């Protein structure tokens, strides 16, 4: 594909083993990047598709004249979508990759300076969540003839540093192109990193303005189409046998399904493994919808935002098989949920780093392959039937509690988050894709959202980033055009990052936002007050303000081109949801919710409470908190 007529093919005669000629194509660095990205292919459902299906871009002087020109010439071969904020467009790229189960990767590009640093937060999300994201940022001039240039942050002792160095701690692969031929090594390594199930995460490439526009005779073979498949590394047989031996000794084994189950596309293998061996399965936040909510082996979500059923089973489990999870503190209740002193942990993970944590018996390998081989090693072994019977009893009691906890308020108060989530879940369709992040909604969705199909849930809780709710929904809607994406968002997150509602209207990728307005950062207010502190700076009514003002969310959403629907009663949610489904654009359903009512079932969570305080409430909370510390496992 010609790029504005500036590319040309020439034959350059160079020495080679074959003694032949090397065919080259003269392109700028920016043009070469675009052509390389277009040539990369992937396999999805046994069909070939672009590995990089699009680019989110906000242009500035650092990327518009070279990279912007190359992207415009690419047209539909690599479509460019304009974001409204560099952070949120990169968040949309992260959500896209998650919805595509790491089989496709979106690109985000910005200019140097604030545009670049805005993307650092999204890079951290992708890094924490083990998701691929390609970031291309403008940079200062390698020549330094123009220093200091617009938006350059100067470091007196090291002129090689720019703000792009801020990406180093939050990317798996980082490079700055200072000479055109470096692309020949850098781009393949960036792709390999993002597709590696063990090292998956964001890749960053800095593009200095002078180098970005420089031309070079690139080998034409560099741009030949290449089809990538995500590697499925097999486990070591000795590790499989060690895990099987440990499981065979168990009387109360428990399986924890993490996000790696989804990325391995191992949901069917997980269900078969659990059914064949009579094992109860609980889920992390990232692993939610690994099984459907009514699967006979499912026993609920585990941990701080989890269920009384899963946490009760974890307390008594003697062997825990953790599949595809890094066992974050919200999963383990800061390592307090496993209360059986004899508990042994088996960690299955494609990444050695995650598999070898906490003195685990490690099985390093692809989740699907490990489950298949571990199942074969176990043969006809099954856990005691009484253990699975207990799991089903605990889970039935938990679901009965949920129905009661989500009942509409009888005193005329606004409904709780739980009531709203429960109501939307009842009206959801099998293929709806629920999405949320941070705040109080992850806990309520983790408990009350009943997954009707596998792979139907996204909660950004590895980095717990407010603002992902709307940007992520835009990316998920792009990735899943045949499904309805329902984003649950609090008023705090909405005010923090709402502009990609407009992005979705412009691009034609609609989704539904259920906006729960509880008057501020209510779940942090809950934590604050529960640990004895005064209500301070979280709810709008408790902030330092000349006067209290509330946002007209309906008018705000409409001003960005969205449909906006106000709901005052739970009974109206079903109708509003159907109206939103029928819309030709993103729809925002606004409902006022109670900031004080939350669902129980939580595990203990370790936070820092002052050792000294003038408030008696803090002293009491500190004593109560420390009393629960006796359950925290040490040295795991």
Are both 134 and 67 inside the same structural domain? yes
**Which pLDDT does position 411 carry in this prediction?**
82
Please check whether residue 41 lies inside any domain of the structure.
Answer: yes
* pLDDT tens digits, 543-574: 999 999 999 999 999 999 999 999 999 999 99
Please check whether residue 128 lies inside any domain of the structure.
Answer: yes
**Is residue 628 classed exposed, middle or buried when 0-12, 13-18 and 19+ CB atoms within 10 A define those classes?**
middle
* pLDDT tens digits, 191-208: 999 999 999 999 999 999
Domain boundary among 557, 575, 592: 592
Q: Are strands 344-349 and 319-323 parallel, antiparallel or unpaired?
A: parallel
**Which pLDDT does position 557 carry in this prediction?**
98
Residue 62 and residue 140: Cα distance in Å, rounded? 8
**Which pLDDT does position 410 carry in this prediction?**
83
CB 131 within 8 A of CB 466: no
Please check whether residue 618 lies inside any domain of the structure.
Answer: no
Res 9 pLDDT > 90: no
Are both 214 and 279 inside the same structural domain? no
**Which pLDDT does position 15 carry in this prediction?**
43
**What CATH number does residue 299 fall under?**
3.40.50.1220
The whole domain housing 525 covers: 406-592
Q: What predicted TM-score, i.e. pTM, was given to this entire model?
A: 0.95
Kindly tell me the sign of the dihedral angle through the C-alpha atoms of 220, 222, 228, 232: positive
CA dihedral 287, 293, 294, 295 (to 10 degrees): -10
**Which pLDDT does position 187 carry in this prediction?**
98
Contacts 24+ apart (CB under 8 A), 330-334: 330/285, 330/303, 330/304, 330/305, 330/461, 330/605, 331/256, 331/258, 331/284, 331/285, 331/302, 331/303, 331/304, 332/303, 333/303, 333/304, 333/603, 333/604, 333/605, 334/304, 334/604, 334/605, 334/606, 334/632
Are both 253 and 376 inside the same structural domain? yes
Q: How far is CA 141 from CA 57, 68, 149, 178, 212, in A?
A: 21, 17, 8, 9, 10
The H-assigned helical ranges of 364-508 are: 367-378, 385-405, 417-427, 441-448, 468-479, 491-496, 500-507
Of the pLDDT bands very low, low, confident and very high (cuts 50, 70, 90), residue 634 is confident
Are both 269 and 304 inside the same structural domain? yes
Q: Look at residue 530 and give its three-state secondary structure.
A: helix
Please check whether residue 626 lies inside any domain of the structure.
Answer: no
Please check whether residue 135 lies inside any domain of the structure.
Answer: yes
Are both 193 and 312 inside the same structural domain? no
Identify the CA nearest to 288 among candidates 429, 397, 447: 447
Q: What is the mean pLDDT of the chain?
A: 95
CB 161 within 8 A of CB 155: yes
Backbone angles phi, psi at 398, to 5 degrees: -65, -45
Domain boundary among 228, 254, 287: 228
CB 338 within 8 A of CB 315: yes
Of the pLDDT bands very low, low, confident and very high (cuts 50, 70, 90), residue 2 is very low
**What CATH number does residue 170 fall under?**
3.40.50.970
Kindly tell me the sign of the dihedral angle through the C-alpha atoms of 315, 316, 319, 320: negative
Residue 86 and residue 167: Cα distance in Å, rounded? 14
Are both 468 and 378 inside the same structural domain? no
**Which pLDDT does position 17 carry in this prediction?**
41
Res 1 pLDDT > 60: no
Are both 146 and 91 inside the same structural domain? yes
CB 296 within 8 A of CB 327: no
Q: How far is CA 198 from CA 167, 280, 611, in A?
A: 20, 27, 41
CB 412 within 8 A of CB 436: no
Are both 71 and 139 inside the same structural domain? yes
Are both 153 and 222 inside the same structural domain? yes
* pLDDT tens digits, 227-266: 999 999 999 999 999 999 999 999 999 999 999 999 999 9
Q: Angle at which helices 468-479 and 86-99 pack, to 10 degrees? A: 50
Domain boundary among 398, 428, 453: 398
Residue 460 and residue 128: Cα distance in Å, rounded? 10
Please check whether residue 629 lies inside any domain of the structure.
Answer: no
Please check whether residue 201 lies inside any domain of the structure.
Answer: yes
The average pLDDT across 281-308 equals 98
Are both 546 and 421 inside the same structural domain? yes
Are both 201 and 348 inside the same structural domain? no
Res 4 pLDDT > 50: no
Q: Are strands 22-28 and 215-219 parallel, antiparallel or unpaired?
A: antiparallel
Are both 200 and 327 inside the same structural domain? no
**Which pLDDT does position 412 carry in this prediction?**
83
Please give the residue that has the higher pLDDT: either 11 or 625.
Answer: 625
* pLDDT tens digits, 376-410: 999 999 999 999 999 999 999 999 999 999 999 88
* Sheet (strand 361-364) strand order: 298-301, 281-283, 253-257, 319-323, 344-349, 361-364
Please check whether residue 621 lies inside any domain of the structure.
Answer: no
**Which pLDDT does position 486 carry in this prediction?**
98
Please give the residue that has the higher pLDDT: either 102 or 357.
Answer: 102
Of the pLDDT bands very low, low, confident and very high (cuts 50, 70, 90), residue 7 is very low
Res 5 pLDDT > 80: no
Number of domains within the chain: 3
CB 48 within 8 A of CB 41: yes
The average pLDDT across 12-37 equals 78
* pLDDT tens digits, 33-45: 999 999 999 999 9
**Which pLDDT does position 251 carry in this prediction?**
98
């Amino acid at each position: 594909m010609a790029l504005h007529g500036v590319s040309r093919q020439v034959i350059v005669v160079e020495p080679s083993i074959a003694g032949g000629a090397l065919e080259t194509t003269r392109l700028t660095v920016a043009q070469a990047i675009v052509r390389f990205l277009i040539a990369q292919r992937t396999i999805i459902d046994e069909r070939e598709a672009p590995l990089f299906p699009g680019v989110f871009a906000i242009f500035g002087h650092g990327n518009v004249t070279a990279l912007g020109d190359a992207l415009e010439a690419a047209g539909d071969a690599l479509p460019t979508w304009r974001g409204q904020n560099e952070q949120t467009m990169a968040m949309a790229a992260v959500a896209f990759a998650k919805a595509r189960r790491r089989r496709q990767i979106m690109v985000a590009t910005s200019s140097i300076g604030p545009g670049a640093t805005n993307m650092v937060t999204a890079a951290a999300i992708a890094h924490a969540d083990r998701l691929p994201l390609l970031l291309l940022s403008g940079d200062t001039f390698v020549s330094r003839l123009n220093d200091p240039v617009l938006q350059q942050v100067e470091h007196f002792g090291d002129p090689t540093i720019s703000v792009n160095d801020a990406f180093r701690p939050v990317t798996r692969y980082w490079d700055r192109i200072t000479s055109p031929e470096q692309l020949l090594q850098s781009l393949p390594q960036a792709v390999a990193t993002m597709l590696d199930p063990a090292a998956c995460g964001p890749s960053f490439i800095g593009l200095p303005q002078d180098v970005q526009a420089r031309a070079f005779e690139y080998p034409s073979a560099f741009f030949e189409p290449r089809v990538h498949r995500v590697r499925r590394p097999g486990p070591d047989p000795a590790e499989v046998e060690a895990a099987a031996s440990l499981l065979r000794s168990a009387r109360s084994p428990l399986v924890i399904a993490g996000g790696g189950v989804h990325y391995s596309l191992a949901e069917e293998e997980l269900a078969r493994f659990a059914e064949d061996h009579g094992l109860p399965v609980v889920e992390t936040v990232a692993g939610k919808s690994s099984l459907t909510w009514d699967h006979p082996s499912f026993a609920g979500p585990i941990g701080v935002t989890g269920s009384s059923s899963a946490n009760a089973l974890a307390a008594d489990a003697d062997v825990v098989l953790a599949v595809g999870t890094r066992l974050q503190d919200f999963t383990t209740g800061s390592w307090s949920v496993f209360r059986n002193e004899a508990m042994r942990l088996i960690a299955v993970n494609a990444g050695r780093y995650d598999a070898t944590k906490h003195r685990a018996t490690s099985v390093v390998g692809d989740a699907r392959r490990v489950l298949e081989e571990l199942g074969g090693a176990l043969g006809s072994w099954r856990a005691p039937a009484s253990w699975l019977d207990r799991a089903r009893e605990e889970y039935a009691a938990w679901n009965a509690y949920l129905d009661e906890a989500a009942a509409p308020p009888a005193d005329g108060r606004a409904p709780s988050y739980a009531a709203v989530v429960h109501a939307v879940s009842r009206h959801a369709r099998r293929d709806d894709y629920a999405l949320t992040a941070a705040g109080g909604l992850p806990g309520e969705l983790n408990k009350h959202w009943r997954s009707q199909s596998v792979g139907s849930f996204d909660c950004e809780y590895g980095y717990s980033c407010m603002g992902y709710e709307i940007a992520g929904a835009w990316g998920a809607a792009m990735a899943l055009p045949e499904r309805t994406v329902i984003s649950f968002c609090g008023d705090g997150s909405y005010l923090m990052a709402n502009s990609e509602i407009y992005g979705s209207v412009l691009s034609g990728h609609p989704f539904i936002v259920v906006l729960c307005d509880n008057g501020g950062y209510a779940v942090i207010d809950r934590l604050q007050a529960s640990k004895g502190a005064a209500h301070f700076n979280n709810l709008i009514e408790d902030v330092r303000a000349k006067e209290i003002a509330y946002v007209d969310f309906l008018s705000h959403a409409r001003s960005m081109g969205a449909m906006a629907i106000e709901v005052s009663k739970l009974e109206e949610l079903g109708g509003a949801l159907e109206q939103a489904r029928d819309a030709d654009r993103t729809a925002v359903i606004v409902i006022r919710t109670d900031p004080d009512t939350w669902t129980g079932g939580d595990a203990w969570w370790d936070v820092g409470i002052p050792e000294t305080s003038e408030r008696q409430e803090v002293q009491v909370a500190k004593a109560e908190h420390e009393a629960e510390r006796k359950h925290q496992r040490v040295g795991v």
